[in-house]
Structure 1
Amino acid sequence: MFSRRFEQPPSSSHNKSFSKSQRLGRSNSSFSKDAGVSKRRHESSRRRPTTSSSAMPSESPSDNSISAIVTLVVGQEQRIFAAHENVLAASPFFQAVLQNQMLDSQCKKISLPDEEPEIFSSVLEYLYKGDYYPRLVHNKKRNSWELEQLPEEARHEPTIYHHGVEGELLKDTVVYCAAEKYGLEELKRVALRKQGLQSGIQASTILASARYAYANTPDTDSKLRAHYLALIIRSRSTFKRSGTMQLEMFNGGTQLFFDLFVALCNHVDDISTASTPRTPRSGRPF
């Protein structure tokens, strides 16, 4: 999978969790400035949409008045969402499901028992608004992407509880994997930009999220995986001391650690090449 060389950013000091100095906002600089956020994003809207029973986002395309309403039953608790059919049809996944349903246009229903309601809420928010809470903001002075500044009472947790792993995962990683499932390439780019823009994440959560990313993305999709490899290498002193890392490696079961081995070898090779003195044509070093 990682046949090309793994580019490793400079290392920095580390703590048990990851501070602001260890954010990986720049690790996704290969994307153009306009690639991260859809043109449909509404800068003036700062409030998070309601995610509980059957309330729909307030902002919607102009032709929604003639579009059927689809009921979505999400998660083990069977949370109810509602959305316009033409909005859901932007996703190849939902378009196929709706086309296969032999139901009356007034009673369309989709069940998503394995999805987390909080994640589906973010997906639905993106489909209506082009981004999800908290939104991306481009810092023109630094030429970098940041998360919008929120008042203290509106702060959100960067992790969610996922019933599939019975533990905490980074929300943006789960959103990325949901976007992969639903065929939303632009949402994948938005979620990828948000990776690493949070601080105070424990090593165990990073590893669990990396394992989840490997389990829910194809081998051909290396961008999210490369982000986690870069993060672990960049914070290698922390992970070296982490008993969680030792347990993860002992249990194995994923491609993660072979990819990490290759990435570390590339990193060491790069350091060795940079520190080797140049040799003149006479064969004698300078």
Structure 2
Amino acid sequence: MFSRNVNKSQTESFSRSRRGPKSSKGSFREHAVSKSRHERSRKLPTEEAPPMGSTLTSSIITLVVGREQRLFAAHEDVLCISPFFQAACRGQFMESAAKRITLPDEEPEIFSSVLEYLYKGDYYPRLVHNKRRNSWELETGEGGAGSVESTVYHHGVDGELLKDTVIYCTAEKYGLDELKRVALRKQGLQSGIQCSTILTSARYAYANTPDTDSKLRAHYLALIIRSRGTFKRSGTMQMEMMAGGSQLFFDLFVALCNHVDDVASIA
């Protein structure tokens, strides 16, 4: 397994009560400034099924994923939901004789979730609607909430990242907008996440999303602002701020200023 459970008892963790709001469309200021500016949609993201008329009898493509070269198999019609794989299957990227695509930089656990989404319209843990609370929650495993792994080990950063963030960035690369919506909705539904993991994941989000896509970035800015008490006591946050040199922290500074302006205007 590539992922690890996060211990909820660890210090400087992000509790469920402090989780960030769900992101919506709009500019940076519309996303990260205040709770009142955040749209909280209750609509479940559209599930993206295999192409109409497909009986899953198309060619089987073998995918070699990650440093350990783990093998996956998928129907070509299903893979071609993604513009990335559509181009790969029709271009020189695929070894035509063997119908094989090699993805050495992907994490097998993340790719497994992407493949699960392509076939089922969601990935584990699935979004479940709580009718009593009229809210979306993550399903739990047989062992309860603690069995849901919220992080994944990523070789590229040599550390833990929030799984939904990596899936969002992978969906961006593969051109799967609906998967981005699903992953974005799941952001912040996990609890017990360490400050260091949140900051590392935020840096990863900035490095793997275009400047025009502010949704995931705004989620992290709002998340840090809402749990500023915890981050204020975090030695990791202090070191990050002192190091500087990142667009993340300029955006965070702007977001904090906007937040203060909102509070002042309300007062």
* d(CA) in 2 for partners of 1:102, 1:170: 29
For residue 22 of structure 1, what is the aligned residue in structure 2?
18
The answer as to whether partners of 1:25 and 1:145 remain within 8 angstroms in 2 is: no
Pairing partner for 1:132 from 116, 123, 127: 123
One-letter amino acid matched to 1:164: G
* d(CA) in 2 for partners of 1:266, 1:122: 36
For residue 122 of structure 1, what is the aligned residue in structure 2?
113
How has the CA–CA distance of structure 1 residues 171 and 236 changed in structure 2, closer, same or farther, with 3 Å as cutoff? same
**Is residue 2:175 matched to residue 1:183?**
yes
Pairing partner for 2:187 from 195, 205, 208: 195
One-letter amino acid matched to 1:24: G
RMSD over aligned Cα atoms: 2.4
**TM-score, normalised relative to structure 2:** 0.84
How has the CA–CA distance of structure 1 residues 103 and 91 changed in structure 2, closer, same or farther, with 3 Å as cutoff? closer
Pairing partner for 1:241 from 215, 233, 247: 233
For the pair shown, the structure with the greater C-alpha radius of gyration is 1
**Is residue 2:153 matched to residue 1:148?**
no
The answer as to whether partners of 1:69 and 1:83 remain within 8 angstroms in 2 is: yes
The answer as to whether partners of 1:36 and 1:186 remain within 8 angstroms in 2 is: yes
CA deviations 1:38-67 (Å, max 9, x no partner) are 165xxxxxxxxxxxxxxxxxx998734530
* d(CA) in 1 for partners of 2:93, 2:248: 42
Query: How much does 1:103 deviate?
Result: 6.9
Query: How much does 1:99 deviate?
Result: 0.9
| Structure 1 gaps, min length 5 | 1-14, 41-58, 276-286
Query: How much does 1:27 deviate?
Result: 5.4
* d(CA) in 1 for partners of 2:202, 2:47: 26
Pairing partner for 2:257 from 260, 265, 282: 265
Number of aligned pairs?
243
The answer as to whether partners of 1:37 and 1:131 remain within 8 angstroms in 2 is: no
One-letter amino acid matched to 2:82: S
For residue 74 of structure 1, what is the aligned residue in structure 2?
65
For residue 32 of structure 2, what is the aligned residue in structure 1?
none
Pairing partner for 1:38 from 38, 47, 52: 47
Query: How much does 1:107 deviate?
Result: 2.2
